[in-house]
Structure 1
Amino acid sequence: MTNVLFIHGLWLHATSWGAWSELFEQAGYQTSAPGWPGEPDTVEAARTNPDSVADHGIDDVVAHYTKIIEGLDSKPILVGHSFGGMIAQKLLGLDLAAAAVAIDAAQIKGVLPVPLSSLRVTFPVFKNPANRHRAVSLTAEQFRYGFGNAISEQESDELFERWAIPSPGKPLFEAAAANFDPHSPAKVDTANELRGPLLLMMGGRDHTVPEAITRATLKQYRHSDAVTDIVEFADRAHSLTIDHGWREVANTALAWLRQHSL
């Protein structure tokens, strides 16, 4: 049975993949959605103990999931959202995965656009340089701008209450400095010819990872003949994996996997 490993991004708990895991298992996959290094098992515990995830950077997260993958009986399919999408691309480039679906993925090294909306979303982290070593929480209002701007305020607030957790600031500082650091942890082996297929998915109304970032990410793969596809959900935003329309996104990913006999 093929393994599917779900990787969440900043400010969402690993259990936010629950509906996806159930759907993928019904489709015949074996799934898991482990949290980031230090992440408690529940949303409540993560909120109570934010220091447990503080100061973990991109390399820490990659090493964490690499160890998990090494414990599997075969290379998994990776499905990552936001920073989880970046991590999925890194692991795919390292030939640790059979394929990857990167949904509204955080920008990798080489991606130049920095839209104003992205800066507004990350301001709660960047406003204090000390946040590089801390865990940072969003308010419900900040979550609505960064995640829930394409859904009702009521639904956004419900998602915030259900899934939002503090997350480490360090990955954002690392990504922001990526194009000035030759050894940036945000670097992905986009030229790998032998890697498995990659699907980039994006929400056309996403404030956190606007489509300009995803399209610029696609261009980074132009030197590889490995499969790299892109799909846009024009009316969706960063909450597209957890809001009322999640099933359309998940079914699109499943259809793509079948298309590639995965």
Structure 2
Amino acid sequence: MTEHLELLHEAPSHPVNAPPLLFLHGAYVGAWCWQQHFLPWFAAQGYDAWALSLRGHGGSRTDRPRDTLSIDDYVDDVLRAQERLPAEPILVGHSMGGFVAQKALERHPFPALVLLCSVPPTGLSGSLLHMLLHTPMALLEMNLFTAGKRKPHRSLVKALFHHLPPEPDLARYLAASGPESLRAIWDMMGFARVDRAKQHPAPVYVFGAEHDKIIPPDQVENTARFYGTTARILPDFGHTLMLEPGWERAARAIAQVLQPAAQAA
């Protein structure tokens, strides 16, 4: 079976002169996490806004066992998706999606990357050590969730959000989430590190969250140093900033760094 990829789209009513935005989700979720707030907001600012569900996530299907899906498979999905867009997109990747975006830049010359609370180019080892030391119950619950064992996951929810969404929204987000590929997680442990020498030249904008317990600010700073840039740590946010109350502040910060890209397009 050919992989079917879900692409969500919000067209701008008053387009700006800028590349499209292709949003890449993190582990356990799908393109729906961008549809809630970010896609319509960026479309309202004039951006042609798209969100991809990687295979096995959201509405994207695969005939392969979930745990065999690799980061390279997810990169293939990004390259296929960009061919369906009207122009070369800026990649906006969150968490695992940020790692996929970095690997995609090894294979294709995208105009720019925006990394949000992204897995660092060197992998997840620093993040997992931080969770083991500071939020061990959240790490345990993350492993249970990966294994498909659905529980309330109270510690994991507290690690994902600094400010909890309204209860009906939170319940909907958890119901829409699902296990992640063990192969992809192992890849991010260091078996598929980003090779800077292979990456095409492009601006890389690095954002983190002040209260992120999954990818803490020091890991975000490491990513910024890798790209020779400065990390922007957004105050009063947790890891899942696109779904937290106050998400507009994060969206505005991203739009601010995209303005030069829009003007250069």
TM class, shorter-chain normalised?
Answer: 0.7 to 0.9
Give 1:215 deviation, angstroms: 0.8
Where do 4+ consecutive residues of structure 1 move more than 6 Å? none
The equivalent position to 1:144 in structure 2, one of 157, 165, 169, is: 157
Pairing of 1:109-148 with structure 2 (within 5 A): 109=122, 113-114=126-127, 116-119=129-132, 120=136, 121-124=138-141, 139-148=152-161
1: CA distance, partners of 2:154 / 2:144: 17
The equivalent position to 1:169 in structure 2, one of 167, 171, 182, is: 182
The equivalent position to 1:39 in structure 2, one of 41, 48, 57, is: 57
Q: How many residues align?
A: 237
Aligned-pair RMSD on alpha carbons? 3.0
Give 1:163 deviation, angstroms: 1.9
Task: String of CA shifts for 1:72-94, please: whole Å, max 9, x gaps.
Answer: 34210111111011112222343
User: Are the aligned partners of 2:127 and 2:214 in contact in 1 as well (CA < 8 Å)?
Assistant: no
User: TM-score, normalised to structure 1's length?
Assistant: 0.77
Equivalent residue for 1:107? Answer: 120
| 1:236 aligned partner, one-letter code | F
1: CA distance, partners of 2:26 / 2:72: 14
Equivalent residue for 1:225? Answer: none
Give 1:116 deviation, angstroms: 4.2
- Alignment of 1:206 with 2:207, yes or no, is no
The equivalent position to 1:15 in structure 2, one of 20, 32, 41, is: 32
Pairing of 1:1-262 with structure 2 (within 5 A): 2-18=19-35, 19-41=37-59, 53-109=66-122, 113-114=126-127, 116-119=129-132, 120=136, 121-124=138-141, 139-148=152-161, 150-152=162-164, 155=165, 157-164=167-174, 165-166=177-178, 167-176=180-189, 178=190, 184-185=191-192, 187-191=193-197, 194-222=200-228, 228-260=229-261, 261=263
Give 1:124 deviation, angstroms: 3.9
User: Are the aligned partners of 2:55 and 2:77 in contact in 1 as well (CA < 8 Å)?
Assistant: yes
Give percent identity, aligned residues only: 22
2: CA distance, partners of 1:172 / 1:157: 29
Of 97-106 and 12-21, deviating more is: 12-21
Distance 1:248 1:233, change over 3 A: same
Distance 1:17 1:220, change over 3 A: same
User: Are the aligned partners of 1:69 and 1:96 in contact in 2 as well (CA < 8 Å)?
Assistant: no
Distance 1:86 1:230, change over 3 A: same
2: CA distance, partners of 1:168 / 1:192: 25
1: CA distance, partners of 2:198 / 2:169: 37
